[in-house]
A = this chain, B = another copy of it.
Amino acid sequence: MIPEFGSSRHGDTAAKNVEDQELKQAGLKVTLPRRKILDILKQPQARHFSAEDISHALYDRGENIALATIYRVLTQFEEVGLVQRHNFEGSSSVFELARGGHHDHVVCVDCGVVKEFYDETIEKRQREIAADLGFEIEDHALIIYGRCNDPECRERKRLAASR
């Protein structure tokens, strides 16, 4: 039961136990698909995944989970607050692990890279505006679309297009 030396990668026993706890605390049964999907969502290289992205990521790991299950699991994760769903421009929803704090997004229209930000000034104004209009805020989405100045942008664009 003690993780052996060199086993510290995804699928790691210790990591699994952590994830099991998270799932249980969220009120969800611990199942293989849920654990694997959570594992993908936690990988540090990326933060925003469409259902397809997750499917591909799993495939790359040699795992295979039905798309229907991925959608179901993501929806459940969203319901219990484990992930947030965003509808960026374009067709499909993207999901990201909820890490407590709210934040908004800047998306590059060329390469699709996503950056996050939080701005209290904006948050405050939103609350004021909603109140002025007689609304009780439930949620909000602020997405800035632009072009990033990253030299790798063009390269990423090419990659994204070839998928």
- Interfacial residues, chain A to chain B (CB-CB below 8 A): 87, 89, 106, 108-109, 115, 117, 119, 121-122, 125-126, 129-130, 133-150
**A148, B135: Cβ atoms closer than 8 Å:** yes
In contact, B147 and A135 (Cβ under 8 angstroms): yes
A87 interface neighbour in B87, B144, B150, Cβ under 8 Å: B87
Q: SS class of chain A's interface: helix, strand, loop or mixed? A: strand
Q: How many Å lie between the Cα of A51 and that of B67 in the bound state? A: 29
Q: How far is the CB of A51 from chain B (nearest CB, A)?
A: 15
Contacts of A109 in B (CB 8 A): 138-139
Q: What's the Cα separation between A109 and B135 when bound, in Å?
A: 10
The count of identical subunits is: 2
B140:A143 contact, CB within 8 angstroms: yes
Q: Are B140 and A117 in contact (CB under 8 A)?
A: no
List the B residue with the shortest CB-CB distance to A126: B144
Query: Roughly how many angstroms separate A144 CA and B89 CA in the complex, as a whole number?
Result: 16
Q: How far is the CA of A103 from the CA of B106 in the complex (A)?
A: 18
- Give the complex CA separation of A149 and B134 in angstroms: 6
Selected from B115, B125, B137, the residue in CB contact (under 8 A) with A145 is B137
Expressed in whole angstroms, the Cα–Cα distance for A122 and B136 within the complex equals: 19
Closest chain-B Cβ to A35's Cβ sits at a distance in Å of 29
- B121 near A135 (CB under 8 angstroms)? no
Residues from chain B with a CB closer than 8 A to the CB of A133 are: 106, 115, 117, 148
